[in-house]
Structure 1
Amino acid sequence: MHRLAFLAAASAVALAAPAQAEPLKIGIIESLSGAQTSTGRLYANAVEYGVDQINKAGGFNGEPVQVTEYDNAGGAPEAADKFRQAVADGVDIIFQGASSAIAGQLTEDVRKHNIRNAGHEVMFINLGGEAMELTGEKCQFYHFRFTTTAPMRVNALVNAMKADGDLGTKVYSINQNYSWGQDMQKAVEAAADTGGYEVVGEVLHDVNKIQDFAPFVARIKAAAPDTVFTGNWSNDLLLLMKATGDAGLDVTFATAFLDQPGNIANAGKTAIGHYIANNYDNAASDGKFAENYKAATGHYPIFVEGHSAFALAQLKQALDTLDFGGGEIDVTKIALALEDTTYDSPVGPISVRKADHQTIRPVVVSKVVENPKYPADDTDMGFQTVKVVPGEDAIYPVQDSCQMKRPGE
């Protein structure tokens, strides 16, 4: 073939070949170093598992979904820096879970970015920031909360423990001194009449700075409560459980995050009878998801992994309704589709409330027993389901402070 004819034919083929499709880009802005690493890594694991499931089913928009990790080192300023980096990398959706303080930073970063960059929005799927303000005064269209809040957990605990005769009439509250811990303290106070108890002591302490909780355990012991409520997580719960175990404190704990790895081992036999209200418990399901997760990751879903994986499955439901033809990703259309999803999780349906983007979801109440189906921390202890509270019974009204503006308003 003549050289010019060959080049012309080659050019024609190149022009006829379809352009590469635009991939959906997910960024995990998580605490992957520092005191919150044990929690942050589990959120990241679950997101990556969920992305793998989407990609095994064919990806989205003609390409595999791309996922990138960004380490915020457990700090809000660092998270803001990583958000700017993620935007520069073209990330469409960010995921984060460890710390309401960091979630507060990110949702504000997303809000400001989207105001300045209409048509090129970024969405924030919040897996663990439970501060009420995130769906209250800080609520905004591009933030979705795929977890519970303090009232949902506390009310479920109070009702289940009272029904089982394990609540008692004297309650102590110990929590971290920031938005989430303050919400927990308020929720414990608000449920006193329903629970029929008196709050005999309250503590709000520094976050992830205390190395020895023995003095706090001594104060709890002196107050002689029947039940101690705590929303503590990460090192603050691990060390509180260690101090409780060391002191042999005979009191029932009502918790939000007792299933965090290490807590049962730290508390030892004093953990038996402790309660947790959570988004998911392997023992509350038929076990199919747990086995699938183990087959993919090498371990059963623990702590925050279950409900975080469900968030990705629900995102997949939204993506399955969209077709961008390989072209530019439209995050606003993804958000609108996500609002209309209902995911049938192993513990019950999860939907999105359009007014504030709080998910309406089941709350699982469990307590620590010996010889469970799914042992924790290589011990002979683990969780037994007490009650699964349906989402419609667990949810509360939209906060008056949420004035969400929708696209086009």
Structure 2
Amino acid sequence: MSKRFLAALALAGTAILAPPEVRAEEVLKIGALLIDTGPLAGFYEGHVRALELAETDLNENRAPGAPRIEIRRATYAGTPETALQAASRLAKEDRVQVITGMMPSSTSIILAARAEALNVAVLDGFAQAASLTGEHCRKNYFHIATTDHLVLSAYDQMIAEQGPISWDILAADYTTGRNASESFQKMAAAHGASIGHVAYAPLGTSDFGTSITQLAASPSKGLFISTFGSDAISFAKQQRQFKLDQKYDIILGHSYITRTTLGGQADNVVGNYQTFGWLADFPTEDSRTFADRYADKFNAIPDYVAADQYIAVQAAQAAAQKAGSLQAANIASALPGLTFRSLLGELTIRAEDHQLLRPVVISQVVMTDGKPDLAVQTIVPWEKVAGNPNPECKLGSAS
């Protein structure tokens, strides 16, 4: 028997005996789609930081049987077409089993429909369109973020307390904005309220002058705002000269105020309310640890989008552990009904529509030490906001 053959045999034996954490097939590869230009670019840094922390922390503190994770990043232009191209590259070239990242609702709809063909499980911690757990739900798509339905349902009691007043609406002329506007109008009507002026602004609007003038001309008692990113900053600044915020008794935001936008919005949004899936002072030990680690490493307070990205990675690792497999199909099969430890405590992904059942935080912008800050007002448990699975989701039959 040749020395070369014996050496090869020895190497093979070493590979067989190698501990699980160093075997290539024992690594869960997660592809992250990121947008670094345009109105959503303000969320890019938070996502990158959350992914970095997740890769470090979840590998160092793995539960028995949980795989190591590797995160591969891919930037794209923010459109469904470029997202699909980037996701295809991650699946084919990097052989990722899971896709996550910055996925606006229109992008998520496309990726949800193509996930099974790409042989990946999509864990979405970004999009909020309620249709993603309704008509657009799919076998390999799982919604980790809050939907419009979840965050708006948290406002239900506040709307009821206002009584039969009139509400104006400013929303992004985009899937999320229109869905949020329609849902809010139904909630308001259910409590005897009426709808006044409704304005839609295209994504990427830099001049809200026309909408602000229309709203200021004859304001209702309440204002509902559903816009985000740089658009939200522009609106907050521009409404100041009309003192629009002072014309309303109450202003409710949807994706309007975040840690990312608050610096630019400054005191123009003091007193406004905003719902979140998470805030840095959320009262769990894991949440505090995450917020402290983030602050120590990056000298910044994490936003909810960073937390949702971290939770999506937690869910992916837990699903692979439950499946006992790194095959995308097996991970996708393990996710429905999965209960796992997260920043928000122990959470479950509902099998019927693949929505993560999670609480919602109602916050208000207050002045703290001379600066605007987000303060938790109420934490609404998931049982009061999730409702029943959307009957338009047919995951129980042919999807």
Same fold, judged at TM 0.5 (above): yes
Q: How does 1:214-229 map to 2 (within 5 A)?
A: 214-229=209-224
Secondary structure of 1:321 counterpart = helix
Q: How does 1:10-409 map to 2 (within 5 A)?
A: 10-18=7-15, 20-22=23-25, 23-58=27-62, 64-89=68-93, 90-111=95-116, 113=117, 121-160=119-158, 162-163=160-161, 169-208=165-204, 210-249=205-244, 250=246, 251=248, 252-261=250-259, 263-285=261-283, 287-324=288-325, 329-343=326-340, 345=342, 347=344, 349-371=346-368, 380-404=371-395
Letter in 2 for 1:366: S
In the other structure, the counterpart of 1:118 is none
Cα distance in 2, alignment partners of residues 7 and 349 from structure 1:
53
Letter in 2 for 1:385: V
Shift of 1:43: 2.8
Cα distance in 2, alignment partners of residues 161 and 290 from structure 1:
31
1:36-81 deviations in whole A, cap 9, x for unaligned? 2112342333233222222223599897422111112111111111
- The verdict on how the C-alpha distance between 1:17 and 1:345 changes in structure 2, with shifts beyond 3 A counting, is closer
CA-atom RMSD in angstroms: 2.7
Shift of 1:386: 1.4
Q: Where in structure 1 are there 5+ consecutive unaligned residues?
A: 115-120, 373-378
TM-score (norm 1): 0.85
Shift of 1:405: 5.6
8 Å Cα contact 1:40/1:98 also seen in 2: no
8 Å Cα contact 2:33/2:74 also seen in 1: yes
Identity across matched positions, percent: 18
Shift of 1:125: 0.5
Secondary structure of 1:355 counterpart = coil
Secondary structure of 1:17 counterpart = helix
- The verdict on how the C-alpha distance between 1:283 and 1:247 changes in structure 2, with shifts beyond 3 A counting, is farther
Letter in 2 for 1:156: A
Shift of 1:35: 3.0
In the other structure, the counterpart of 2:20 is none
Q: Where in structure 2 are there 5+ consecutive unaligned residues?
A: 17-22
Cα distance in 1, alignment partners of residues 178 and 140 from structure 2:
25
**More off after superposition, 236-245 vs 49-58:** 49-58
8 Å Cα contact 1:160/1:365 also seen in 2: no
Letter in 1 for 2:202: D
8 Å Cα contact 1:365/1:386 also seen in 2: yes
